[in-house]
Amino acid sequence: MTLKLYMHPLSSFCHKVLVALYENGTSFESVIVDFSNSDSRAAFFEKSPMGKMPVLQDVESNVILPESSIIIEYINIHHPVHCGLLPQDAGEQLQVRLWDRFFDLYIHQPMQRIVGERLRPEGSLDPHGVSEAHATIDKAYGVLEQHLADRQWVASPTFSMADCAAVPALFYGSIVHPFNDDLRNTRDYFERLVSRHSVKRVIDEARPYFQYFPYRETMPPRFLQG
């Protein structure tokens, strides 16, 4: 297999790339990283010195890429199959990249900050940081709600890299910071996302690992039960 994706089925940024791969119909080998296994851990850090996943290895081209957005762009350029995850129009491309960054920076990363707090030892908790993360997500939801008026997808007429970024940001974000009743456009958009075959597949593959998610008790039953 030319492409190998070093990943974990529970990892939110891995979900972003997996959605893109499934949308594109890309053939790849998934390599699940097991940090409890010294060989698996060492092999992963050799390819990702910063310890971040996912990492894509193109064996044939001798290319190793971290960072979810860069991986998706690489797939779009070098392994296009069924769809273009970035539109041809330069202006639309900028919008896709803008909203990709929006989801990662203002929903996805604050969500990870909130989840990470539950993994901290008692003496190193940061309630102020968590409060700031909730405030950032709340503001981002408001911006997204207005932007989604009369839109099916967030950045272009067709499903794009920006929507790939939206999937894990809103999936996990809605668990730690639920949508309020005023976010009708955002709720509808989220339902469009989770109804796609690629997203259903990612959730199905992650389901056996949801038991390890720190906020499992607040996950909607439909995602836990399939």
- Res 123: pLDDT: 87
Cα-Cα-Cα-Cα dihedral sign, residues 117, 40, 25, 2: positive
In the DSSP assignment, the letter for residue 208 is: G
Backbone dihedral region for residue 11 (phi beyond 0: left; psi -120 to 50: alpha; all else: beta): beta
**Residue with the two structure tokens 């790849």:** 28
Name the band, by pLDDT with cuts 50, 70 and 90, for residue 148.
very high
Kindly state the percentage of the chain with pLDDT values over 70.
Answer: 99
Q: pTM for this structure? A: 0.95
Return the axis-axis angle of helices 197-206 and 161-176, rounded to nearest 10°.
50
Write the pLDDT tens digit of every residue in 36-82.
999 999 999 999 999 999 999 999 999 999 999 999 999 999 988 87
Q: Report the greatest alpha carbon distance in the chain.
A: 51
Confidence of residue 1 (pLDDT cuts 50, 70, 90): low
Mean pLDDT, range 126-142, rounded to an integer? 97
| Run of H or E residues at 6 | strand 3-7
Sign for the pseudo-dihedral over CA of 120, 123, 127, 128: negative
Q: What is the pLDDT of residues 184-211, one digit of tens each?
A: 999 999 999 999 999 999 999 999 999 9
Domains present along the chain, CATH in parentheses: 90-196 (1.20.1050.10)
- State how far Cα 187 lies from the chain centre: 17
Kindly indicate the confidence band of residue 152, based on its pLDDT and cuts at 50, 70 and 90.
very high
Burial of 73 (0-12, 13-18, 19+ CB in 10 A): buried
Task: Tell me the mean pLDDT in the region 158-163.
Answer: 97
Written in H, E and C, the secondary structure of 94-157 is: HHHHHHHHHHHHHHHHHHHHHHHHCCCCHHHCCHHHHHHHHHHHHHHHHHHHHHCCCCCCCCCC
- pLDDT average, residue stretch 9-31: 97
Work out the pLDDT band at 96, boundaries 50, 70, 90: very high
Per-residue pLDDT, 102? 98
> What's the mean pLDDT when you consider all of the chain?
95
